[in-house]
A and B are shown apart, each in its own frame.
Chain A
Amino acid sequence: MSSDERLRVDARPGRERLILELQGELDMASSELLDRALAGADLGDSQAVVLDLHGVTFADSTGLKAIFRARKAVRDSGRRFAVTQGSRQLQRLLSLTRLDEHLQTIQTPDDALD
C-alpha cells in the first residue's frame, strides 16, 4: 500500500484562509505528503492556513513533526496557523507531548481565529 492511499491532503480556500484537509494516517510513511501539499499550495492573499485534522485517524510523532513544520512555515510567511481537532488518538498524543499548548485548535476549519 503506498503512502498516497493512506493519506490524502486536499487544499481548498476558506474564509480568508487556505484549508488543508487531511484524511488518513499521518505517520513516518505519509507525513511528507503534508510538506509537499503545503509547499505546492497557492497561499495567495490568504491570511491563515488551517489544517483540518478531522479525518486524521492516526498520527505518530513524525506526524506531529509534520504538523509543526507546517506551523513554522505558515507563521514564517506571516500568516496565522490553526488546526481542527483530530481523532481521540491524535488529541491524546498532542496533549501527552504538551504540543497542544502551541496549537490554536478550532472547531470547524472556518471558525474565527484569535
Chain B
Amino acid sequence: MAMSTKPQGARVRLRLSSRLEDVIVVRQLLGGFADATGLSAADLSDIGTAVTEACNNAAAHAYGGDDGPLAVDVLARDAEVVATVRDWGVGMALDGGSPVEFPSDVDGELTGIGVPSIKALASAARWTEPPGGGTEVEMTFPTAAVVRATSGPEAELAGFFDDEPSGPVHAIEVEMAPGSIARCVLPRLLRVMAARAQFSVDRHADVQRVTSAVLGAGISSWITRGASARVTAVDGSLEVAIGPMSEEDVSRLAIAVGSVEPDLAVAMEPLVGPPRRLVVRMERSPVGARSPRDSTPAGFDMPTIEHAAKRPGWAIALLVETGAMLSRSLDPAITMSQVAQLTIPTLADLCVIDLGNGEGPISDLAAASADPELARGLEELRSRFPLDPRGPHPVARVIRTGEPQLLSEMSPESLQSFAHGYAHARFMIANRYRSAIVAPLTARGRTLGALSTIRLADSEPYDREDLELVCELARGAALAIENAQLFSDLQTAEQRLQAILENLAEAITVVDDTGRTVFANEAALRFLGLESAEELTRSKPGEIMSRFIVRSESGEELELESMPARRLFRGEAAPPLLVRNVVRATGEERWIVVRASPIVDPESGRVMYAANVFEDVTEVKRAQLAEAFMAQASRVLASSMDYAETLQRIAQLAAGELADWCAVDVLGARGQLERVAVHHRDPDRLALAEQIDRRYRPNLADPTGVPEVIRTGQARIFNDIGEEELARYARDADHLRLLTQMGARDVIIVPLAAPSRTIGAITLVSSREGRRLNRADLGVAVRLGRRAGTAVESARLYTERSRIAGVLQRALLPDSLPEMPGFEVAALYRPAGELNDVGGDFYDVFPYRRDRWMLVIGDVCGKGAQAASVTALARHTLRAAARLETPPVAMLELLHHTLRSQEPEGQMCTVCLVVVDPPGARPPGTHMGLRIALAGHPRPLIVGPGGTARAVGEPGTILGMVDPIVLNEVAVELGEDDTLLLHTDGVTDAARSHTQSALALENLIAQVRELALPDMLRAVETAAVTSAAGHPQDDIALVGLRLAPDPGAD
C-alpha cells in the first residue's frame, strides 16, 4: 500500500465523496500540489487525467453511480509521483497486469477506456483490495522535476486514508505534508467550496482574505505535523476546520482570522487538546456586528462544533485571549499576572497562580482580584506562610496529584482544615471564600504548579463546566511557563552554539537575504582571508566573493546567484555545491563543499538567513583528481606502442589537467636531449615554447633544469619563479625575453624514469594567470614520470625486439627462389601483425637429386626466438638431408628425431615436402609427376583449370611430438593448366574464420586462378587478411608452382 512508503517528499491526501463535483475538486487541488512541489504542467496533466479516471471508475463501478467515500493520496518524492485512489465500494477485481487494449469499434458505446488510459499514463498501475474492502489503485508516474517541498519522516500524516467514514461524506478533507503545501492547496479548496456554497463575488473576496489570514498566521505546528483541513459547504455557509495545531497556534490563528472578520464564528475542536483544530464558519452573507461575549453566533450548531457551542462566547474569547497573551510575552511573571487578571471578574473574584513541582517549596507567582488590596493581601500571606508541599492545602494536593479540584462550597470549617495557621484561616474566612477551583499547571506531562480561582461571598458557586474551563486556562498558562523556560534554555543554547561555531574547524557564515554577512566564525575569517569579523560585516554583498574565482567542478565560473544560500532565498532547493575556489590575489586553489541551510522566521515562514558551511575537501579532491588523472594517463600509455605519439598525448593530458604547459624531453642514443612532446593550452604560447626549445635546447651538462633532473633522477619544483631566477637560467638577453614572455610561475620537472635508468624528463609549467603547482602536484607528476618512463622503455624494447625478430625471420627464409627451368614458382610470406614476434612459418625451394626439385613449406609451433631457432634447425636439417638424397619420408623422420633430441622438449613442427620431377621427363601435353609427403601439415591444393581445387597428399603425423609417426609419400600429377599451392594454416584459419567453411580456401582460389602466379598468391593473402578483419592471428606462407607455358605448344 502507498501508506507504508516513506513519507519523504511532499504529500497530499484527500477524502471526499465520489460525487462528480467532488472529483473535479481533486484535479483542482492537484494543481495546487503541483504549484507547491514544482511539478511540471505535463506531469500534472497526466497525473490529473489518471486520477480522474480512477475516481470515475470508483464512482461508476464501485458505487454504481451512488455516493460513496473516496480517498486520494498523492506522494511526490525524488523523481516520481505515486498517486493512490481508494474506495470502499464493490471490489472491481481488476487485473493490473493485462496488456493495454483500446477499443477498435468506436461507433458503439465506448467502454473500458478508463483503465487502459491509466495504464498508459502511469509507468506502473496496480489494483488491490485493501483491508476493509473496496479497491485501491496505485499509480506511479516518473516526473521531470525534483520535489520542491520536502518533509521529513516526522511529517507522516495521521491518516484518515485507511478508515472508512462512518456516514455519508459531506465534507472534503485534505491533509498535507509538509504543512507549507497548504499555501497552494487551501486557497483553491476554499475557492471551490465557497462557489459550491453559492457565495457572492464580494463574499468570495472575504473568503480569500480569511484564507490569507490563516496562511499568514504562521502556524508553526504545521511544520512538524503537516496541515489538515476539513471543508464543508452546506446551506449557504462554509465551514473550515484547520489543524492540527498547538494551543498557542489556535489562539494565534483565532486572532488572525478575527482581525479580518471580527464577528466570524470560531470554535476549537476537540475541546481538550492539543492537537487541535480551529473551526471557522462563514455565512453566505456577513453576520452583523455582534459581540462574541454576548452570545454565540446563530447557526453555530453544526455537529462538529456542537460541543464548543455550549460554552458561552465569553469563555471562548477568554481562552483565545489567553493563548494570544502567551505568545506575546516570554516573561513568565508578567504573563502569569496577566492570565490571572483575565479571569477577573467573569470567572473569579480572586485568582492565584502558585508554582511548584511537588518536591521543592511552592512559590507564589501571581495573584489578581478586582480588589487590589485583596490580591496584595494574599501575596503577602503566601510570602509569610509558604505552602507546605506535603500539606493539606488544595494547591499542594493538586500539585502532588496533578488532578484538579472543585471546591464548590467551602465552609469556614473546611477552610480552617487546610489553612496554614491562624492568619491564613482568618484571611480566607474574613474575605468570605466561598467556592474555588484549583487546576494543575501541566505541560508535557509535567506539573509546574497550580492555578486557583476563588469566588467570594455572594458569587455563584463553581460547577463542573467551570472546572473544565479553568483546567483549560491552566493548560494554556502552563504552556506559557514552559515556553518561558524553553526560551531561557534557548538563550543559553544560543550562547553555547555561538561558542561551538567559533571553535568549529569548518568555516561558517550567516548571510541575510540582501547577501550581507552577519556572522562568520574564526575558521570562516581565515578561509576568506580576512583580518576581523568587522571587515566582513562592513563589506558589501558580493564583495567578498569577488576576491575569488569560483568555478564549478566542470570548470565554469560561478555567479553569486548560483551559490546555495542565494538559491535558498529564492525558494529553490539548495543541494551541497562542490566548487573550486581560487584566491585571485595569490592563485591559491581550494576545493570547497558549500552547504547552506535556511534559518526560517517561524512567524512568516520566510527564509531570513542562510547559514553557509564551507568544508575544505581539497586534499580528498586532489587525491581523487590525481587518481583519475593517473588512470587516464595509464590508459593513454597502454593504448599504443608508438611512444612518440603516446608521449604527445600524455603532454596534452597533463597540460589540460595538471598544468598549462607540458613538455617531454628524452635522452637520445648519442646522449643528446630530444624534445619528443610539448603542449600548451594556448596555441601562441605553444609556438613560443617550440621556438625556445629550438634556439636554446638544453645541454645535458647544464647545471639546472631538465639536464639536472635527468642526471640526478631527482624531481624538482620551483614556485613563484621571479625575474632573478629566470635571469640566472637564461643564456642571453633574448632567451630571457622569450622566457619572460612564456610567463612561467611554477615549474615541476620530474624524471622520466625507466626501471633501471632515467631516460628523460617531464616538465610541467603553470603560467601567471593559471593554476598553481604544489607539492601534491609534484607527487602526481613523479608518478606520471615513473609510469611514462616504464611505458616508453618497454615500447622501445618492444620495437627493438620486433626489429630483431624481423631480421631473424628474413634470415630464415630464402632471399629469392631459384630458377626452376620449365616451371613458374612463387612464394609469399606475411608475418602476423606489424610489430609481432617472429612467427614459425618457413618455406624453401632447392634442387633435389640432380634433376629434381624439392618444395618445402612448414610451420614451427610457437613464436619468438625459440620458434626461430627451431625454424632454422628444420630448414637446415631438411636441406642437409636433401643433399644426401634421402627420400622425403626419411627426411621427415630425420627431422622428427632431431626435434625429439632437442632441449627443451616438445618443439614441434609441421612440414609438407613436394618432390617435383624434372620437366624433361615429361612428354608434351602430359601431366607432371609430383610426390608429396605430409607431416601434420595442411594438404596442398591443386587448382584445376575450371577453378576446382582439390587437396592432395595423405595426412601424416606432426613432427617432434609423439612416437611413432606415420608418414606417407603420395604420387600426384600436375596438369598443364594446374597450379600447386602450398600453404600454412594461417591462410586456412583466416579464411575459415570468415566463412565458417573448411572449403573456404578452395573457394577463394577458384576465383583467382586466372591470375599470374605471384598475383594469385597476393590475392589469396589479401583475401585471408581481409577475412581476418585485417589482423590475422597467424603468419601466412604460400608457395605456388605451375608448369611454364610450353614454348613449343603454340
Contact in complex: A65, B59 (CB < 8 Å) = no
- Nearest chain B residue, comparing its CB with the CB of A65: B110
**Chain B nearest CB: distance from A59 CB in Å?**
8
Q: Which residues of A contact B48 (CB under 8 A)?
A: 58, 89
Q: Which of A40-88 contact B (CB under 8 A)?
A: 58, 60-62, 64-65, 68-69, 71-72, 75, 88
Assess the B45–A64 pair: CB atoms within 8 A. Answer: no
**Most B-side CB within 10 Å, residue of A27, A69, A75:** A27
User: Does A12 have its Cβ within 8 Å of any Cβ on chain B?
Assistant: no
CA A89 to CA B195, docked complex, whole Å: 25
Q: In the complex, what distance in Å separates the CA atom of A89 from the CA atom of B44?
A: 10
Contact of B114 among A58, A61, A69, A88 (CB under 8 A): A61
Interface residue range, chain A:
20 to 34
A93: Cβ under 8 A from any B Cβ? yes
Does B195 lie within 8 Å of A1, measured CB to CB?
A: yes
Indicate if A113 sits at the interface (CB-CB under 8 A): no
A92 near B52 (CB under 8 angstroms)? no
Interface of B is mostly: helix
Interface residues of B in 83-120 (CB under 8 A from A): 102, 106-107, 109-110, 113-114, 116-117, 120
Whole-angstrom distance between the Cβ of B21 and the nearest chain A Cβ: 6
Q: Could you tell me the dominant secondary structure of chain A's interface residues?
A: helix
Asked whether any CB of chain B lies closer than 8 Å to the CB of A36, the reply is: no
Q: Hey, which chain B residues are within 8 Å of A97, CB to CB?
A: 102, 113, 116-117, 120
0/1 per residue, B633-651, Cβ < 8 Å to A? 0000000000000000000
* B107 in contact with A72 (CB, 8 Å): yes
Task: Please tell me if B204 contacts chain A, counting CB pairs below 8 Å.
Answer: no
Q: Are A61 and B24 in contact (CB under 8 A)?
A: no
A92 to B192, CA, bound (A): 27
A61:B59 contact, CB within 8 angstroms: no
Q: Is the CB of A96 within 8 A of B120?
A: yes
CB distance from A98 to the nearest CB of B (A): 5
A96 interface neighbour in B42, B117, B195, Cβ under 8 Å: B117
Expressed in whole angstroms, the Cα–Cα distance for A96 and B681 within the complex equals: 53
Q: How far is the CB of B66 from chain A (nearest CB, A)?
A: 14
The answer, among A29, A62, A89, for a CB contact under 8 Å with B45, is A89
Shortest beta-carbon distance from A89 to chain B in Å? 4
Report Cα–Cα, A88/B120, bound state, in Å.
16
CB closest residue in chain A, given B192: A1
Asked if B994 lies at the interface with its beta carbon under 8 angstroms from chain A, I say: no
- Given the complex of chains A and B, what is the CA–CA distance between A97 and B121 in angstroms? 10
Inter-subunit contact A27/B116 (CB<8 Å): no
Residues of B within 8 A of A69 (CB): 109
In the complex with contacts A1-B196, A25-B24, A28-B59, A89-B49 CB distance below 8 A: yes
Which residue of the partner chain, among A58, A62, A88, contacts B56 with CB atoms under 8 Å? A62
**Contact: B21 with A1, CB < 8 Å?**
yes
Check if A28 sits within 8 Å of B106, measured CB to CB: no
Tell me the smallest distance from the CB of A40 to a CB of chain B, in Å.
21
A5 CB, nearest partner CB in chain B, Å: 8
Contact yes or no, A29 B117, CB < 8 A: no
Tell whether, in the assembled complex, residue B45 and residue A92 are in contact, meaning their CB atoms are under 8 Å apart. yes
Question: Judging by beta carbons under 8 Å apart, are B196 and A58 in contact?
Answer: no
A6 at interface (Cβ–Cβ under 8 A)?
yes
A29 to B, closest residue via Cβ: B20
Please name the residue on chain B nearest to A103 by beta carbon.
B106
B466 CB within 8 Å of chain A: no
Contacts known (A88-B45, A89-B48, A96-B121); A29 close to B109, Cβ less than 8 A: no
Known interface pairs A72-B107, A99-B102, A99-B106; A29-B21 also in contact (CB < 8 Å): yes
User: Does the CB pair B21–A92 fall under 8 Å?
Assistant: no
Q: Does B46 make an interface contact (CB < 8 A)?
A: yes
Q: Give chain B interface residues in 157-200, CB to chain A under 8 Å.
A: 192, 195-196
Q: Does B349 contact A (CB under 8 A)?
A: no
Which of B52, B110, B195 contacts A68 (CB under 8 A)? Answer: B110
CB-CB contacts of B471-490 with A at 8 A, as 1s and 0s?
Answer: 00000000000000000000
B interface with A by C-beta (< 8 Å): 20-21, 23-24, 27, 42, 45-46, 48-49, 52-53, 56, 59-60, 102, 106-107, 109-110, 113-114, 116-117, 120-121, 192, 195-196
* 22 residue pairs A–B, Cβ–Cβ below 8 Å: A1-B21, A1-B196, A27-B20, A27-B24, A28-B20, A28-B59, A29-B24, A58-B49, A58-B52, A60-B52, A60-B114, A62-B56, A65-B109, A65-B110, A68-B106, A68-B107, A71-B106, A71-B107, A92-B49, A96-B117, A97-B102, A97-B116
- The 10 A-B pairs with the shortest beta carbon distances in the complex, nearest first, are A29-B20, A61-B113, A89-B45, A96-B120, A60-B52, A61-B114, A102-B106, A65-B110, A1-B195, A97-B102
